[in-house]
């Protein structure tokens, strides 16, 4: 017998992973949660059937979502993570001794509990004493918080299902209000390659660039996401991720990273022409 997990990247293209066994399958209040064990990618989990995190390439995503803003402003002390129930983003953040507070707001506690059981390396720092976990709606949390953060990371699913509110203008606007004058917003920014993903990429960029003086997009290779070409957004009131990168300061921390380095930090903001054109035309 062979067991294969298949994800439709579009109606006409699909990616399949051979599965050793299904470890977990629950319908939470918000979504369908499945964990699998595989030869190629180790343990992985899906939400509503879409690949979220696997042991083989999660280092890419979490390196890029955390170290790019941290190398731009090493003085970041208070961080808000929206989503990110797997804990990988928090894990990378806790490597900075200079960070004093990490608030993580994940709508679905069941995701966190399952990741603590089945992805112990990814979720290993959720119990760090600087981390405060809130199992709430990120949209409402940001609207109601009196806290001011130096960095907000939107580590969300796609803008369907529980992640939908995290792609609205209201949400980005409340993020802007919850950020200090030196604040940085990094968000999961979809992909330029397949039409539906590109549509969401343009919608997100259009909203964010209206609200932030500096609004850029950077790319990375994420083999298990549709097309393997994925993007994060970098928005800020003050810091430019290329002009303001602190190369020597970041390298002096001697953090061992498998994907991120300060050369790549600069390089990943150089996008293909067709992606630049899509982002520039996002207003239309």
Q: Which residues are annotated as a binding site for S-methyl-5'-thioadenosine?
A: 31, 106, 137-138, 162
Q: How many residues bind a second copy (CB under 8 A)?
A: 40
Q: What are the helix (H) ranges across 119-194?
A: 138-144, 169-177
**Shortest separation between residue 282's beta carbon and a second copy, angstroms:** 17
Closest by Cα among 66, 43, 222 to 122:
43
Contact string (CB under 8 A) for a second copy, positions 50-89, x = contact: -------x--x-----------------------------
Catalytic: which of 34, 57, 108, 155? Answer: 155
What is the distance, to the nearest Å, from the Cα of residue 95 to the centroid of all Cα atoms in its chain?
17
155 assigned to active site: yes
Give 30 or 193: the residue with its C-beta nearer to a second copy.
193
Give 9 or 78: the residue with its C-beta nearer to a second copy.
9
Q: Interface with a second copy includes 10 (CB under 8 A)?
A: yes
Choose, by CB under 8 A, the member of 31, 53, 260, 279 that binds a second copy: 260
Q: How far apart are the first and last CA of the chain?
A: 51
Q: Interface with a second copy includes 253 (CB under 8 A)?
A: no
List the interface residues with a second copy, window 198-227 (CB under 8 A). 219, 221, 223, 227
| Residue 98: exposure state from Cβ atoms within 10 A (0-12, 13-18, ≥19) | exposed
**Piece of 22-30, 45-53, 153-161, 265-273 that binds a second copy (CB under 8 A):** 265-273
Annotated binding site for spermidine: which residue ranges?
Answer: 62, 86, 155-158
Q: Interface with a second copy includes 97 (CB under 8 A)?
A: no
- If you count DSSP H runs as helices and E runs as strands, how many of each does the chain have, helices first? 9, 12
Tell me the HSE value of 112 on the side-chain side, using a 13 A CA sphere: 20
Q: Interface with a second copy includes 255 (CB under 8 A)?
A: no
Q: Interface with a second copy includes 229 (CB under 8 A)?
A: yes
Contact string (CB under 8 A) for a second copy, positions 11-50, x = contact: xxxxxxxx-------------------xxxx---------
If one counts every other C-beta atom within 10 angstroms of the C-beta of residue 94, the result is 21
Question: Do the beta carbons of residue 68 and residue 241 sit within 8 Å?
Answer: yes
Choose, by CB under 8 A, the member of 160, 272, 281, 283 that binds a second copy: 272
Closest by Cα among 260, 280, 159, 263 to 216:
280
Distance separating alpha carbons of residues 30 and 229, to the nearest angstrom: 27
Tokens of 50: 């879409």
What is the distance, to the nearest Å, from the Cα of residue 282 to the centroid of all Cα atoms in its chain?
21
Q: Are strands 3-10 and 13-27 parallel, antiparallel or unpaired?
A: antiparallel
Contact string (CB under 8 A) for a second copy, positions 176-195, x = contact: -----------------x--
Tokens of 252: 């002096």
Catalogue the active-site residues.
155
Binding site for a second copy (CB under 8 A): 4, 10-18, 38-41, 57, 60, 193, 219, 221, 223, 227-229, 257-261, 263-264, 266-274, 276
């Amino acid at each position: 017998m062979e067991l294969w997990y298949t994800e439709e990247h579009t109606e006409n293209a699909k990616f399949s992973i051979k599965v050793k066994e299904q470890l977990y399958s629950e319908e939470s209040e918000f979504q369908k949660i499945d964990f699998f064990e595989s030869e190629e990618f180790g343990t992985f989990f899906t939400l509503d059937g879409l690949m979220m995190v696997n042991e083989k390439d999660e280092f890419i995503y979490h390196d890029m979502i955390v170290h790019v803003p941290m190398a731009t402003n090493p003085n970041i002390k208070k961080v808000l993570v929206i989503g990110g129930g797997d804990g990988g983003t928090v894990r990378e953040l806790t490597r900075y001794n200079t960070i004093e507070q990490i608030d993580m707001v994940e709508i679905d506690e069941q995701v966190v509990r399952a990741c603590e059981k089945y992805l112990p390396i990814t979720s290993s720092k959720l119990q760090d004493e600087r981390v405060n976990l809130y199992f709430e709606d990120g949209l409402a949390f940001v609207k109601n918080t009196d806290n001011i953060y130096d960095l907000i990371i939107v580590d969300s699913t796609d803008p369907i299902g529980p992640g939908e509110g995290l792609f609205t203008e209201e949400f980005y606007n409340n993020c802007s209000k919850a950020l200090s004058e030196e604040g940085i917003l990094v968000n999961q920014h979809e992909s330029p390659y397949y039409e539906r993903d590109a549509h969401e990429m343009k919608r997100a960029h259009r909203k964010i660039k209206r609200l932030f003086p500096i609004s850029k997009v950077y790319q990375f290779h994420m083999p298990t996401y549709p097309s393997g070409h994925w993007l994060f957004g970098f928005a800020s009131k003050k810091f430019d991720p290329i002009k303001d990168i602190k190369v020597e300061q970041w390298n002096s921390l001697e953090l061992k990273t498998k994907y991120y380095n300060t050369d790549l930090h600069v390089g990943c903001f150089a996008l293909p022409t067709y992606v630049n054109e899509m982002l520039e035309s996002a207003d239309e």
